[in-house]
Structure 1
């Protein structure tokens, strides 16, 4: 249970106030009758000493001791009253109630042998009412403090959770941008590297072919710049806005670009009426799978024959990119010299797997049994 704490300055102020009231009670009681002064002074000093224990784990014992002192002398009344309030404020009701009863009984005993300013019946009624009020006030004070503490704790936890959500959102956004950059720029730059490599290692080629290759480089650079602008637009756009959703017709464009760079790629486009039924999210992921497959084949097996298979049936798309060369990760294999393409970062397959998983699909990538490499994805959709 959380016990409300009291600042040290407030504790000192409360003790001084109790001490002043104790002195006032003693002085008032003995202005005209000095009899019993020694007892009242002794009780007052003892009561002030016990006040120091009211804000420790011995508060209940100190309050019961003050109730006993209150039965001996009115000099203990200020301290005993404060004790009832403090116990009610800091302890459960089942503990504070007996303390309040003890305080009321102590003052009732005091009234039996010590002169009081009211008739005994009224004094006892006021005694019970005052201690009941102290008990209720202390319990209310405690509950209020607990509610405030709970609200502050809830606010702190909400702030921490908000910071965590912001961090997760920032990480997800960075991952999304990194995935888009890899999927677009890596493919485009690999085409440029392959074409530039051909220009570098075949300077004796036909001038017409060299001019055509240089034109493809220029066009590729322009396309790469446009892809970069698209990524920058994504940085400034809504997180749900992924820009232009590639169509299945764009898959054919990827194949043509790979062929123009010198790759041997086979592809049969699916019927248009079936392709139109594929949702945008699935179309985009199919496009990215083919893009990654062609890029990997160009990077790791530049002279291999590549085949792209795309099936759209039974509410699912199955896309498969295979090559008959040495796939990525094959021990001892490096890209052929003259391609100008270095080793990949390994993030492409990871990003694809994230895309496919978000669509409840499945992605398989690895070496083929008869040689080569295969990248295959299965993507369901609801008609």
Structure 2
């Protein structure tokens, strides 16, 4: 049995039941008015009317007792023409909410009652003719009910799948966040611990060596300043990663760029890399550059598969680092790259850089970033 029968009647259900009652009552009264009162006994004529009105009223309770009312309607329509439409609606209710076997039993019982009707009412048409006229009505009614049932079942299945998928995705996201936070904790311990240890050592040296020369004091102060600035940059990046989507923890280093490109080339992507960045690049800037190239390659493989990708990473201390990733833009409607590029823009801003993206006049999609590289 359908679970919807046990729920409280909604506003839509009230409207549907009202329309069903009015339709059954209106058609029943028209059929009753067209009956030949001289052809049947008066008591049967009156029973037809009373039974038809009762069947129409029973439509208000069809969601509570659908099978019972359909069986009663099948026996009642043996002599009642006024309740014929109500019997059709009750049969369709069974088809919507119950299995096929139950529906066929109710439909067969109603078809037999139609055959018996021609005998009880002594109609001019033979029972076969009455059956030929009635069977298509019940076949159409049952078919409509089965279609409604299958559609509801499909929608319910899709809804349950969507809910399960959402639950699984939420659980996976929570697990990913836990793993990411553990990795961030390790990185904070390794990176920030090292920076702060340097600060402590040099600050302690200044405190315990009042006889240090001016040059030694200036050198230690510069190391303290540089380490404090680097620690602040690392802390900003860690906080940014905590706010970023799951899986955005930057683990690779700038030196892994050739490996990343080689992996894409082995996958069949025609990639050209121009790498000219001599010197010691700060770790947080190098990781950001790696993520920009990685995202550019990912977008190119997703939105323009098979097209060549050009990567240019050049820079020098004091001038900054330029990262360009370009590929021919796909034809037709462009794909959605918004979330990944937003994350890159935030990541570039965390290292005090800037990021731009869009189509070039030549028709390519270009992802370009400038990242600071202190002298």
Corresponding residue SS for 2:107:
helix
Find the aligned partners of 1:230 and 1:117 in 2 and give their Cα distance: 96
Task: Indicate the RMSD between aligned Cα atoms, in angstroms.
Answer: 3.3
Give the paired residue count: 244
Change (3 A) 1:116 1:149: farther
Greater relative contact order (Cα < 8 A, sep 6+) = 1
Name which of 162, 167, 190 aligns with 1:183. Answer: 190
* Structure with the greater alpha carbon radius of gyration: 1
With normalisation by structure 2, the TM-score equals 0.56
Matching residue of 2:220: 216
| CA distance, structure 1, for counterparts of residue 191 and residue 224 of structure 2 | 12
Q: Distance in 2 between matches of 1:4 and 1:145?
A: 10
Match of 1:360 in 2: none
Q: 1:242 to 1:182 in 2, by over 3 A?
A: same
Write the distance in 2 (CA, Å) between the matches of 1:197 and 1:171: 37
Instruction: Give the TM-score of the pair, scaled to structure 1.
Output: 0.55
User: Does the CA contact (< 8 Å) of 1:195 and 1:213 recur in 2?
Assistant: no
Q: Distance in 1 between matches of 2:205 and 2:212?
A: 13
1:96 corresponds to:
103
Look up the SS of the partner of 1:72 in the other structure. Answer: coil
Q: 1:244 matched to which residue of 2?
A: 253
Which residue number in structure 1 is paired with residue 45 of structure 2?
A: 37
Match of 1:207 in 2: 212
Q: Report what 2:15 is aligned to.
A: 9
Aligned pairs for 1:188-337 within 5 A: 188-200=195-207, 202=208, 205-208=210-213, 212=216, 215-230=219-234, 232=236, 235=240, 239=248, 241-244=250-253
What residue in structure 2 maps to residue 28 of structure 1? 34
* 2:150 pairs with 1:146: no
Equivalent residue for 1:61, pick from 46, 68, 88: 68
Query: Which runs of 5 or more structure 2 residues have no equivalent in the other structure?
Result: 6-11, 257-282, 284-375
Extract unaligned runs of 5+ from structure 1: 248-283, 285-383
Alignment partner of 1:157 is 2:164: yes
Please list the CA deviations of residues 54-103 of structure 1 after superposition, one character each: whole Å capped at 9, or x if unmatched.
111x2111111011110022112111111111111111112111111111
Structure 1 CA distance for aligned equivalents of residues 252 and 104 of structure 2: 69
Distance 1:100 1:192 in 2: 88
Residue 144 of structure 2: aligned partner:
137
- Distance between the aligned counterparts of 1:45 and 1:62, measured in 2? 14
Structure 2 distance, partners of 1:241, 1:196, is 31
8 Å Cα contact 1:86/1:138 also seen in 2: yes
- Cα deviations by residue, 1:199-257 (Å, 9 ceiling, x for unpaired): 33x35x5334x85366234213303423443554574798364353799xxxxxxxxxx
Deviations 1:135-155 (A, max 9, x none): 233222211110011112222
- How far 1:109 moved relative to its partner? 0.7
In structure 2, C-alpha distance between the alignment counterparts of 1:217 and 1:116, rounded to whole Å: 113
Q: Is the 8 A contact 2:118 2:127 kept in 1?
A: yes
Would you say the 8 A contact 2:77–2:117 is kept in 1? yes
The 8 Å contact of residues 54 and 62 in structure 1, kept in 2 or not, is answered as yes
Deviations 1:329-365 (A, max 9, x none): xxxxxxxxxxxxxxxxxxxxxxxxxxxxxxxxxxxxx
